[in-house]
Amino acid sequence: MAADPEALSRREALAAYAAGTAGCTKCRLSSGRTQVVFGVGDPNADLMFVGEAPGFHEDKQGYPFVGQAGKLLDQLLGGIGLSREQVYIANVIKCRPPGNRDPQPDEIEACESHLFRQLELIRPKVVATLGNFATKLLSGKSHGITRVHGRPQETTLRDRPVLLYPLYHPAAALYTPAMLRTLEDDFARLPGLLAEEASPPAQVIPFPVPAAMVAAPSPQEQLGLF
Ligand code: SF4
């Protein structure tokens, strides 16, 4: 079967953008990183995860979510019949903050154009935000993850409708059994949300109904009028 040219060009465009980002020096985090951790997965994925920032192992290996939190993410994906090759995974911040501290507002502002470009190129239907930083940035609201996790929100990112689905960050759930159970429950809704987003919207019939959409009455019906 011939490869989809749009899918191919999307892969190439994302690879070219990743190559261009590898030398980014737009913020202070460039000075302490081993490498830019751009993202990993299927450039044509319907489901994209957005975490916070690379940690120690991610910085060394160049991929997001490769430590303990990454193992948990893989397990959660496996639990809903997916692998990381079938989704796309990225972070708000592409370079490791020193000592794994929280990203600072000016660093998020400097780096967000990379994430928005990824979203533009990948065009996911569902974006699962992992933790507070991704949720607040992509929802544009200040509500914390404890309040909004597991609640899908229709939103628009770069002029495209997207279903945002906030989740706890796997690193936060690693050592908190109650949070882990909640994360598993929220994850279990993902296949249903993806199926809903994949199905075409129901036809909306405008009112008043255009004459062209109204079947002409049969002669019998016409006769019944009198
Ligand atoms: S964190 Fe983002 S903006 Fe800052 S240097 Fe890295 S890639 Fe560039």
Residues within 6 Å of ligand 1 by CB: 21, 24-27, 29-30, 36, 93-95, 107, 110-111, 114
C-alpha closest to that of 167 among 179, 159, 156 = 179
- φ, ψ for residue 103 (rounded to 5)? -65, 145
What's the pTM? Answer: 0.86
Look at residue 1 in the predicted model and tell me its pLDDT.
Answer: 52
Residue 37 lies in a domain: yes
| Protein residue whose Cα sits closest to atom 4 of ligand 1 | 27
Residue with token string 């706890």? 168
Q: What is the CATH number of the domain that holds 54?
A: 3.40.470.10
Q: What is the helix, strand, coil percentage profile of the chain, to 5?
A: 50, 15, 40
What's the pLDDT at 174?
95
Q: At what angle do helices 132-139 and 105-122 cross, to 10 degrees?
A: 70
In the prediction, which pLDDT does 225 show? Answer: 31
Burial class (CB in 10 A: 0-12, 13-18, 19+), 125: middle
pLDDT at 213: 45
Residue 163 lies in a domain: yes
The pLDDT assigned to 103 comes to: 97
Residue 165 falls inside a structural domain: yes
Cα 204 to averaged position of ligand 1 atoms, centre (Å): 44
Which of 27, 28, 34 to mutate for ligand 1's pocket (most ligand atoms within 8 Å of CB)? 27
Query: By C-alpha distance, which of 88, 155, 154 is closest to 124?
Result: 88
In a domain, 205, yes or no: no
Calculate how far, in angstroms, residue 52's C-alpha sits from the geometric centre of ligand 1: 13
CA of 196 to the centre of ligand 1 (A): 35
Is residue 219 in a domain?
A: no
Residues of the chain with pLDDT under 50: 204-210, 212-226
Do residues 67 and 26 touch, judged by C-beta distance below 8 A?
A: no
* Per-residue pLDDT reduced to its tens digit, 90-102: 999 999 999 999 9
Residue nearest atom 3 in ligand 1 by C-alpha distance? 111
Residue 102 lies in a domain: yes
Range of the domain at 25: 17-195
Whole-number pLDDT of residue 3: 64
Tokens of residue 159, six digits: 């002029």
What is the per-residue pLDDT for 8?
A: 74
**Cβ contacts of 96 within 8 Å, gap of 6 or more:** 29, 32, 33, 34, 37, 53, 54, 55, 56, 58, 59
Torsion sign over Cα 91, 93, 97, 101: negative
pLDDT at 215: 42
Q: Give how many domains the chain has, as a whole number.
A: 1
**To test the ligand 1 pocket, which listed residue (94, 106, 117) has its Cβ within 8 A of the most ligand atoms?**
94
Instruction: Give 162 Cα–ligand 1 centroid separation in angstroms.
Output: 25
Does residue 111 fall inside a structural domain? yes
